Amino acid sequence: MIKLLRKSKVQRRLMISFLLLAIIPLCTFGFLAYHKSNEAITSKTTTFVNDILRLLGSKIGTEVAKYETFADQIMLNGDIQQALLRYNRLSDLDISNIHKKFEDTVLSDKFWLFATIKTLQILTNNGQVLYDYGYEEFTTEDKQRIFALAKQNKSADIWTTAHTTAGDNILSLARRIPLSYGSGETVGFVIMGIDEELFSQILFGSINMGQGSEQIIMNDAGEILTSNNHLFHSDQDLEANRTLNHLINSRMETGIVTLRAEPYFFLNTHNEVLHWNVISLIPQAYLNMGSVEIRNEMFFIAVICVVVSSLFATFISISISTPLKKLVSGMNQVMRGDLKVEINDKHPDEIGYLSGKFEAMIEEIKLLIERVEQEQAQKRGIELQMLQAQINPHFLFNTLSSLKWTAMLSQADSVSNGLGALAELLRSTIVQKNERITLGEELRNIKNYVVIQQIRYGMSLQVDVQIPEQLLDTQVLKFLLQPIVENSIIHGLSGENMEPRITMTAELNGVVLKIKLSDNGKGMSAEKLQEILQLRDNHSENRLANIGIGNVRERIKLHYGDPYGLEIWSKPDQGTDVIITIPYISTLQEDSADADTNCG
C-alpha cells in the first residue's frame, strides 16, 4: 500500500487525502441521517396509520350496521315472510297492499337511509320479485351472480361489488330470509344496492394520508369493495388485485409493495366481524419527501465542504510541495556541479529542518573541496620540492662512475664502496620516477644511505632488519623509511659514545601493516618532537632530501587517509620508537588490479 502511494506526488496525495477525509465522514453521516430519518418516518407512519385504520374499522362497523339492521327488519317482518310463502297465490292487489303496508311500517322511518341505497329488492326462492325499490337496477349478470351467492351461503350476509344498468359502481348486500318459526327454511332473499361513491365519502371523507395515498376495503373473497381515491379496481387492475390478495393471504401486515411500478408503504388490518381487510397504501415518494429534502440539503452541505476542503487542501499542499520543489531544484543544481545554492527556508517545520541540513551539507562539501584543493596544492608543493632537488642524472652518474673507477684504480676501497652506494641511492631516488616502491627496495635504499653516512661520519652504525621475507614485496611510498633513519642519525645517534643501532621490524594484522623503527640514541624532548612533526626541521644541509618525519606523516595521510599515519615515542636518554601504519598492498595485488583495469 505504501509503495503504491509513493508512486504519486505528495501534492496529489495530500489533495486526495483531504477530499477523502471530507467526503467519507459526510457521506457516512448523510447515509446514517437519511437511513435513520426513513426509519423514524416509517415507525411514526406505521403508528399513525394503525390508529387511523383502527378508527376507520370502528366507523365501518357503525356504517355497515345501519344496512344490516335494516336487513334484519325486513327479514323479521311477518307480512313479508307470509307474502313470500304464498307468493304464487297473491293477486296484484294483494301485492300492492303488501307494498303499502311495508312502506308504512318499515320504510317510513328509513327514508334517510335511501340517500345511499340505489336499489332494494325482495325476492322469492325462485328469484321472483316481491318488492323492488329504487331508481336504478342491477345488471342482469350481477343480479344472477349475487342471487347465486346468496343461495349458496345460508349463514352470513354477502357483501360484494356490482354495477347498475347505468354503469355505476355499487355495493351489494344480500341476505337469506328464513322463516321465523318452524324449520327456519329459506323463503326468500333481500338484496340492497348501495351507492359505492357515497359509501366511500362517508367512510373516508375526513381521512387524508397524503398525496397519492389510498385506503382500500376488501372482502374475504379478495374483491375491492370500496376505496378512498379509487386508484385500483378489482375488474380493471387485475395485477394489483392479485398482489394485494397475495399479501393478505401471506398474512403480511406491513411492508413495501410495488403496484404499477411504484413502491407503496403497505399496512393491513383485519376486521374479524365482517372478515374484511382494511388496507392503507402510502407512496414511498411521499413518505420520503422529508428524507429527500434532508438528503438534498446534506448533498449541498457536502458540496460546500468539499469545495472548502479542496481550498484548504490546495493551500496546505502548496505549503508543503513548494518548499519541497525548491529543495529538489537545489539538489538538481548541486548535481550539475553548482554549489552556489541558497534555499533560505527558515521555517520551523520538518521541511525547513531538512533544508537547513541540506545547506549545512553543501557548506561541508565546500569545506571538503577546499581542503582537498589545499591538500593537492600541498602535495604538488612536495613533489615540486622533490623535482627541485633533482639534478641531471646522466651527468651525475657519469661523474660518479668515473670517480668510482679512479678510486678502485687507486685501491681506495672505502671511497669506491661509498661512490657505488651513492650511485645506487641516487639511481633509485632520482632516475626511478615511481611514487611507490617495494619494501625491499626501500630497505636497499636505506642500506646504501647508511654506507654513505658511515663514510661521512666515520661511525660504525648497525642496522638490524627483522622483517619477514614475505612482506618485502609490500607496496610502500618512496622515502617512507629513509627520512626516519636519517632523523635517528642526525638527532639521536650523533655524538654518542655507545655503538649506534637501528632495529626495523614489521607485523601484518589483517590488511594493516605496522613497521617499527627503534634506535638506542639519546632520544628527544617533547618540544623537539613537536618541532620535527610540525615540518620545521626539514631544511638541513645534512639531509639527503628536504623530506622530514612531518612530511612522511602528511604523505601517509594524503595517500591512505586518516586511519593510517605515524606515531613517535621518545624520551631523553631512552631512545626513539617510530611506528608506521599503512595498508598492506602486495605487488601481486597491484599487478592484478592493473590487469583488471587494462581488461576493462
Q: Residues near 355 by Cβ (< 8 Å), separated by ≥ 6?
A: 323, 326, 327, 343, 345
Task: Reply yes or no on whether the pLDDT at 394 is more than 70.
Answer: no
Is residue 396 in a domain? Answer: no
Is residue 401 in a domain? Answer: no
21 phi and psi angles, rounded to 5 deg: -65, -25
| Residue 232 sits in the same domain as residue 273 | yes
Of the listed ranges 89-103, 192-206, 413-427, the least confidently predicted one is 413-427
| Residue 472 sits in the same domain as residue 541 | yes
Per the structure, the complete domain to which residue 502 belongs is given by 462-599
Of the listed ranges 57-61, 96-100, 375-379, 582-586, the least confidently predicted one is 375-379
Q: Which one has a higher pLDDT value, 48 or 426?
A: 48
Q: Among residues 466, 486, 457, which one has the least CA distance to residue 551?
A: 486
| Residue 110 sits in the same domain as residue 227 | no
Task: Reply yes or no on whether the pLDDT at 577 is more than 90.
Answer: yes
| Residue 33 sits in the same domain as residue 109 | no
Dist. CA 492–CA 496, nearest whole Å: 8
Burial class (CB in 10 A: 0-12, 13-18, 19+), 536: exposed
Dihedral angle sign, alpha carbons of residues 590, 591, 596, 599: positive
pTM for the full model? 0.49
What tens digit of pLDDT does each residue of 120-156 get? 999 998 889 999 888 788 899 999 999 999 888 877 7
Please give the single-letter amino acid code of residue 34.
Y
Is residue 456 in a domain? Answer: no
| 3-state DSSP assignment of residue 69 | helix
Choose the final residue of a domain: 270, 290, 310: 290
| Residue 149 sits in the same domain as residue 43 | no
Q: Which band of pLDDT confidence, cut at 50, 70 and 90, is reported for residue 28?
A: confident
**Helical H runs in 439-537?**
439-457, 482-487, 526-533
- Note the pLDDT of residue 1: 62
- What distances in angstroms separate CA 311 from CA 20, 45, 299, 324, 351, one per listed residue? 14, 43, 18, 20, 22
Q: Count CB atoms within 10 A of the CB of residue 374.
A: 10
| 3-state DSSP assignment of residue 556 | helix
- What distances in angstroms separate CA 161 from CA 168, 221, 411, one per listed residue? 11, 11, 162
Of the listed ranges 105-114, 142-151, 379-388, 427-436, the least confidently predicted one is 379-388
Is residue 351 in a domain? Answer: no
Q: Which band of pLDDT confidence, cut at 50, 70 and 90, is reported for residue 600?
A: very low
- Note the pLDDT of residue 401: 66
Q: Residues 569, 577: contact at Cβ < 8 Å?
A: yes
Q: Which band of pLDDT confidence, cut at 50, 70 and 90, is reported for residue 34?
A: confident
* Mean pLDDT score, 581-590: 81
Q: Residues 223, 160: contact at Cβ < 8 Å?
A: yes
Dist. CA 177–CA 16, nearest whole Å: 83
**Structurally, how many domains does the chain consist of?**
3
Please give the single-letter amino acid code of residue 31.
F
What does 227-293 look like in DSSP terms, one character per residue?
A: ESS----TTT-HHHHHHHHHHHHTT--EEEEEETTEEEEEEEEEETTTTEEEEEEEEHHHHTHHHHH
Annotate 112-127 with b (16+ C-beta within 10 A) or e (fewer). Answer: ebeebbbbbbbbbbee
Is residue 186 in a domain? Answer: yes
Q: Which band of pLDDT confidence, cut at 50, 70 and 90, is reported for residue 565?
A: very high
Task: Reply yes or no on whether the pLDDT at 492 is more than 80.
Answer: no
The DSSP symbol for 340 reads -
Q: Residues near 165 by Cβ (< 8 Å), separated by ≥ 6?
A: 136, 137, 138, 139
- Note the pLDDT of residue 44: 81
| Residue 172 sits in the same domain as residue 234 | no
| Residue 86 sits in the same domain as residue 59 | no
Q: Residues 171, 158: contact at Cβ < 8 Å?
A: no
Instruction: Say which CATH number the domain at 154 has.
Output: 3.30.450.20
Is residue 129 in a domain? Answer: yes
Most confident of 90-104, 299-313, 577-591: 90-104
| Residue 184 sits in the same domain as residue 251 | no
Q: Among residues 220, 164, 215, which one has the least CA distance to residue 194?
A: 164
Q: Residues 528, 518: contact at Cβ < 8 Å?
A: no
Q: Which one has a higher pLDDT value, 302 or 561?
A: 561
What tens digit of pLDDT does each residue of 498-510 get? 678 899 999 999 9
Choose the final residue of a domain: 267, 290, 313: 290
What tens digit of pLDDT does each residue of 516-559 get? 999 988 888 888 888 877 754 554 545 555 577 888 888 898 88
Cell numbers that stand for 215 in this block? 385506503
Q: Which band of pLDDT confidence, cut at 50, 70 and 90, is reported for residue 297?
A: confident
Q: Tell me the average pLDDT of the chain.
A: 81
| Residue 466 sits in the same domain as residue 595 | yes
Please give the single-letter amino acid code of residue 101.
K
* Mean pLDDT score, 267-286: 86
Choose the final residue of a domain: 199, 233, 261: 199
Percent of the chain with pLDDT over 70: 84
- Note the pLDDT of residue 31: 77
Q: Among residues 462, 406, 451, 384, which one has the least CA distance to residue 424?
A: 451
Instruction: Say which CATH number the domain at 562 has.
Output: 3.30.565.10
- Note the pLDDT of residue 182: 65
* Mean pLDDT score, 110-119: 82
Of the listed ranges 173-182, 388-397, 545-554, the least confidently predicted one is 388-397
Q: Report the phi/psi class of residue 274: left, alpha or beta, with left for phi > 0 and alpha for psi in -120 to 50.
A: alpha
What does 129-147 look like in DSSP terms, one character per residue?
A: EEEEEES--B-HHHHHHHH
Report the relative pairing of strands 276-283 and 262-271 from DSSP bridges.
antiparallel
| Residue 266 sits in the same domain as residue 148 | no
Is residue 409 in a domain? Answer: no
Is residue 306 in a domain? Answer: no
Percent of the chain with pLDDT over 90: 16
Q: Among residues 194, 192, 190, which one has the least CA distance to residue 75?
A: 190
* Mean pLDDT score, 103-107: 83
What tens digit of pLDDT does each residue of 200-255 get? 888 888 787 778 888 888 888 888 888 887 777 655 566 777 778 777 777 777 88
| Residue 145 sits in the same domain as residue 271 | no
Q: Which one has a higher pLDDT value, 490 or 590?
A: 490
Q: Report the phi/psi class of residue 323: left, alpha or beta, with left for phi > 0 and alpha for psi in -120 to 50.
A: alpha
| Residue 17 sits in the same domain as residue 124 | no
